Structure 1
Amino acid sequence: MAMETPPPAAAPHFLFVVSAVQGHINPARRLAARIMASEPSARVTFSTAVSGHRRMFPSLASPEQEAVDAAGVSFIPHSDGYDEGFDPKVHGTGNYKARAHAAGKETLSAVIAVLAARGRPVTCMVYTFLVAYAPHVARAHGLPAVLYWIQPATVFAVYYHYFHGHDEVLASCANDPDPDAAVHLPGLPPLKSDALPSAVSITSPEHHYYLLLDLLRDLFAALDEELTTKVVVNTFDALEPDALRSVPQFELVTVGPMVPVDESSPSNTDLFRLDDTKAFMDWLDTKPARSVVYVSFGSLLQMNKRQEEEIRRGLEATGRPYLWARKRAGEGETFDSAADGEGRAQGMVVQWCDQVKVLSHPAVGCFVTHCGWNSTLESVTIGVPMVAVPQWTDQPTVAWLVDACMHAGVRARLDGEGVVERDELQRCVETIMADGDAATGVRAQAELWKHRAEEAVALGGSSERSLRSFASGP
């Protein structure tokens, strides 16, 4: 009796659900594009909140209209209840979770239904960590849901242990005034208080950032309920081997570093106004190799006036040319008032810039960074050594990875107000930019990690193999 041939398996269709924050959208778009490139039969639909969708595609006839990028990824928004954007100063944080959960569940379910009606049924949901309603919607539709962790694996491990019995010891260490205080977690090396993500220090619901801790708690509670134990992580095996094995309850799948393939990559989103690219690139063209200090503290941080002044004075004191991407720069401001001995402007201040293009320029020799994970991975893959000035959330842990693990940069000491003072900034920049053995060693380590990152994503590399396996169907 002839056996019946089973029907062909449906092509995988991934629905990405991503919060409307640039630091989440970019690594998610990059993963979506690489899935499409790795598995030609796969589809990817990308859904962020209406507020983010509008800023990504401002020329659409209607804010809810579907868009398709050059990588073939489709974009359909859903509502999180804040279609004009969430502003904690205006809306407060007390009602955010309930409003976002209710609106997100309803509108995301509608997106899934619309895709099915169009003959594109979703086979897997991939979500980032601030859309706590996503796994609940996936479960209601019988879909596997896979978390895409866009921070270091070490941070995932710390949070996991925090929500599984180690909250008190972590909070105690994080708030200990002794700089040598350390916590010992299963599978991880001892972590001092300044290597812990800031959320574990929160002990009161009145804390300004308690909402972040609350959303993380919901996330890990949802993970405990999921049937799948796979978590996709934007890191690579050589960088965090201990952390990747420290939570055996989950299979942490490395697919990073997720950075733009090239400058024209469609997977790079800027939700902020870019300054004239030609102006600052022409300026960089006039500078010698590895002579420029590039400074950026990311898309979220609002730097206070004292920190701005300390950075400006510290950069001036180095005597080196600098390019500073500073969101609060005054309208029309171009060059800083500082000048060299011949009267030429020493630094250029811009509102926002194409960071990958800047870091790739041969004139850039040092990156003063807040240690956002996306910025750090971009710097690692390009081989630019860093001055780490972490502020909050995962950044202290990232600074620890840069300084103590990779030795691809130096960590600045902050004062009691969390400010890096001018003398300390000058010291750190000179440690990297000078001609001594210390600078040579840091630059050599940055080059080493650049090659390790390249190996991970090259054909047959650890991240490339994991991505290819995931793209064929989780």
Structure 2
Amino acid sequence: MERSSATPHFLFVTTPMQGHINPARRLAARVMASMPGARVTFSTAVGGHRLMFPSLASPDEETVDDAGVLYVPYSDGFDEGFRPEVHGTDTYKERARAVGRETLSAVVAGLAARGRPVTCMVYAFLVGWAPHVARAHGIPAALYWIQPAAVFAVYYHYFHGHEALIASCANDADPDAAVELPGLPPLRSSALPSVVSITSPEHPHYLLLDMMRDLFLVLDEYKPKVLVNTFDALEPDALRAVAQFELVAVGPVVPDEASPSRSDLFRRDDGKGYMEWLDTKPARSVVYVSFGSFLSMSERQAEETRRGLEATGRPYLWVARKGAGECATLDGGDDDNGVRAQGVVVEWCDQVKVLSHPAVGCFVTHCGWNSTLESVTSGVPMVAVPQWTDQPTVAWLVEARMGVGVRARADDEGAVDRGELQRCVETIMGDGEAALGIRAQADLWRGRAEEAIAGGGTSERNLRAFASELCSDVNGTRGDGVRAAATCT
């Protein structure tokens, strides 16, 4: 039976990047689970949609998953995928914004024409133009912030009068230099998101800084509610550090029965080899290594990592993406299942499944927020090897805030050498007092994360409240605009 036009209908919009699609897709499934009568539609760019659903007859064909979420792509003008070396970074922002606004508007209009009018748009942060589409159609919009609340606060202050101060601290050669921002503890340069260190448009990652600036300009204009993939026990102060916005913790948004994890944009291993191998290992004996889906590891870093892992004498499972530096280093010496003398090397794996395996005792990670939350909810301690964007701040949360891991210190070339990696792994997996303390903290924070998303937990209540309100107050004006003081020490 066709539902009435008043049926709640949430439209999730994101860029075609795995680190954005996964948390948005999981939150979409949770909204549907918390509000069974609602409709949920998910829209990413055609390039990402095609990778998610490679068997579709056409790249822009709609599909529905087992949870009942409808997938309808928009176009960002790069349907074959954006390639900086081909398209150039100078053209991306304007083209993606212009084409995205037009085609997403067509998606919204098309859904309404079919009797499925959208009642709330939830967008991730690299589609900062999405609220313009929502306003044009009279739809309230909410931002889904898929990084820590502390990172949101740093960016907010950066774009509201403290740019020079933060950039100065971020580029200070003194490792003890720290910036003090309203609502946050003092943050050393090593704990700041890498983007705030950029001071020139010639920087290779300037596009990201430029897009973040646009995002916060739009936030100032629309004042939306901000859903954050974190939980109150982890970031109580950061969630309240920006009085001008209501930040609502809805995390950790990690896979569960209502939230399918198989949304990777890369070919997946079938799991028979590495999971059977894990089954043969003692509890907490295996080092799991993965550095994410975006940046490639340098050949030197891959070699140092390999030698550091082998020096521990412990079995390891390493995700080495095809075409990345680590693959070149690891070529040869494997049997048909990717098994080396000491470990297993795979091109990709079901990370949640691996982290949940009792044999895994340590996660060497780039500190992507999705990976970190998956590790926290699995109770697996981490060796933090941050690379860029929010990862340095995440590493600070892992080591200083939660105490569930140690941060590997990079050398002057930005690489973590074999000795440092070996030291960090042994700190976590050894029998010393430090290892026991870290493992105890990992168990503690797993419990706190589970409490947040369980029935009646803080994040579960926040999400239900948001869903049941139908976002009626998302565009309400908040805050008095008063800028608090900040200092650098």
TM-score, normalised by the number of residues in structure 1: 0.95
Select the residue among 309, 312, 316 that pairs with 2:303: 309
2:228 maps to amino acid: V
Per-residue CA deviations over 1:35-74 (Å, capped at 9, x if unaligned) read 0000011111100000000011111111111110111110
CA–CA distance in 1 between the matches of 2:166 and 2:36?
Answer: 45
Gaps of 5+ in 2: 472-489
Q: Is the 8 A contact 1:431 1:439 kept in 2?
A: yes
Aligned residues: 460
Moved more, 55-64 or 385-394: 55-64
Alignment of 1:34-433 (within 5 A): 34-226=30-222, 228-262=223-257, 265-327=259-321, 328=324, 330=327, 345-433=341-429
SS of 1:155 mapped into structure 2: helix
Separation in structure 2 between the aligned mates of residue 37 and residue 124 of structure 1, nearest angstrom: 16
The one-letter code matched in structure 1 to 2:305 is I
2: CA distance, partners of 1:265 / 1:149: 18
Partner of 2:483: none
Cα offset for 1:181? 0.4
Matches of 2:9 and 2:366, distance apart in 1: 36
Distance in structure 2 (CA, Å) of the matches to 1:55 and 1:145: 27
3-state SS of paired residue (1:247): coil
Amino acid at match of 2:290: S
Contact 1:336–1:348 (CA under 8 A) maintained in structure 2: no
Distance 1:24 1:83, change over 3 A: same
Structure 1 gaps of 5+ residues are 1-7
Q: What is the rounded CA distance, in whole Å, between the counterparts of 1:101 and 1:42 in structure 2?
A: 29
CA distance in 2, matches of 1:77, 1:275: 26
CA offsets, 1:375-409, max 9 Å, x none? 00000000000000000000000000000000000
- The offset of 1:140, in angstroms, is 1.5
Q: Per the alignment, in what secondary structure is the counterpart of residue 159 of structure 2?
A: helix
Counterparts of 1:110 and 1:437 in 2: how far apart (Å)? 59
Displacement of 1:229 in angstroms is 3.6
Residue 136 of structure 1: how far off its partner (Å): 1.3
- AA partner of residue 290 (structure 1): R
Q: Assess if the C-alpha contact under 8 Å between 1:326 and 1:350 holds in 2.
A: yes
Q: CA deviation at 1:11?
A: 2.3
Between 1:64-73 and 1:379-388, the stretch displaced more is 64-73
Q: Which moved more, 1:442-451 or 1:345-354?
A: 345-354
Question: Is the Cα contact below 8 Å between 1:179 and 1:194 reproduced in 2?
Answer: yes
1:335·1:349 contact (CA, 8 Å) conserved in 2? no
Q: Which residue of 1 aligns with 2:484?
A: none
Does the residue aligned with 2:16 lie in a helix, a strand or coil? coil
AA aligned opposite 1:191:
L
- 1:432 is paired with a residue whose SS is helix
Please state how far the C-alpha of 1:192 moved relative to its aligned partner: 0.3
Aligned-residue sequence identity (percent) comes to 75
Residue 121 of structure 2 aligns to a residue whose secondary structure is strand
Give deviations 1:11-35, integer Å, cap 9, x for gaps: 2211111100000000001000000
Specify the alignment match of 1:4 in structure 2: none
Amino acid in the other structure paired with 2:57: A
**Equivalent of 2:451 in 437, 450, 455:** 455
Q: Helix, strand or coil: the match of 2:42?
A: strand
Contact kept, 8 Å, 2:30 with 2:259, in 1: the verdict is: no
- Cα displacement (A) at 1:76: 0.3
Higher relative contact order (CA 8 A, sep 6+): 2
Residue type matched to 2:243 in 1? P
Give the partner amino acid of 1:260.
Answer: P
SS at structure 1 position matched to 2:160: helix
Change (3 A) 1:335 1:464: farther
For 1:242, give the aligned amino acid: D
Q: How well do the aligned residues superpose, as a CA RMSD in angstroms?
A: 1.7
- Provide, for residues 311-340 of structure 1, a one-character-per-residue CA deviation record: whole Å limited to 9, x for no partner: 000001000000000103659x788579xx
Counterparts in 2 of 1:9 and 1:470: CA distance versus 1, 3 Å: farther
- Does the 8 A contact of 1:366 with 1:386 survive in 2? yes
SS of structure 2 residue aligned to 1:241: coil
Secondary structure at 2:76 match in 1: coil
- The CA distance in 2 between the partners of 1:203 and 1:387, in whole Å, is 30
Give the drift of 1:267: 4.7
| CA distance, structure 1, for counterparts of residue 327 and residue 217 of structure 2 | 44
Q: Is the 8 A contact 1:260 1:268 kept in 2?
A: no
Alignment match of 2:442 (pick from 432, 439, 446): 446
Whether the 8 Å CA contact 1:181–1:192 is kept in 2: the answer is yes
TM-score, normalised on structure 2?
0.92
Distance 2:352 2:462 in 1: 25
Question: How much does 1:135 deviate?
Answer: 1.3
- Deviation of the 1:97 alpha carbon: 1.1
Instruction: Measure, in 2, the Cα distance between the counterparts of 1:246 and 1:62.
Output: 46
| DSSP-derived class of the 2:283 partner | coil
